Amino acid sequence: MRTIRIVIGFVAPSLLGALLVINWTYVFERREELGATNIVFGVIVTYFTAVAYAFLLIGIQSLVCALLMEFLVAPRIRNIYLYLLVSCLLGALSGATVLMFIDRMYFIIIGVFVGLIVGLGLYRLSRDVPEIT
């Protein structure tokens, strides 16, 4: 199970982060440039390109964060709120490293959201947490 959590912690941030970046870009920055006929095709092609760039830009950070969460944070922090806070901070740091290559401040916000979502999933996988109803 530990290997599965590390793999998820490594792969999920790039997949989810790319999806959030594409949505942010198409909703807030490029809406006027796109016609109704090419939005779907454009999003699909752009998503796979963004995933490739995401692995290049945050792949190492994702692996380091996954290892930190698995070996340092999960054994020591039992409180879900502290666990998610650490995960959000690591996500924000990963998003901030992208600023060296791409000058968009929203990468930090996206990093926080990715950290929250991935952290919640990893927390639920690492403990017997009842379903949220």
Delimit the domains of the chain by residue range: 2-126
Residue 37 has pLDDT above 60, yes or no: no
Residue 16 has pLDDT above 60, yes or no: yes
Average pLDDT, the chain: 84
Residue 47: how many CA atoms within 13 Å on its side-chain side?
11
Residue 97 has pLDDT above 80, yes or no: yes
The confidence score (pLDDT) of residue 98 equals: 85
Taking residues 92-96, what's their average pLDDT? 91
CB atoms within 10 A of CB 87: 27
| Closest CA relative to residue 18, chosen from 63, 45, 65, 53 | 53
pLDDT band at 117 (very low <50, low <70, confident <90, very high): very high
Residue 34 has pLDDT above 70, yes or no: no
The confidence score (pLDDT) of residue 7 equals: 93
Residue 59 has pLDDT above 70, yes or no: yes
The confidence score (pLDDT) of residue 8 equals: 93
The confidence score (pLDDT) of residue 36 equals: 47
What pTM did the predictor assign? Answer: 0.81
Task: State the Cα–Cα distance between residues 116 and 119, nearest whole angstrom.
Answer: 5
Q: Which whole-number Å values give the CA distances from 54 to 21, 44, 98, in the listed order?
A: 10, 15, 9
Task: State the Cα–Cα distance between residues 125 and 91, nearest whole angstrom.
Answer: 18
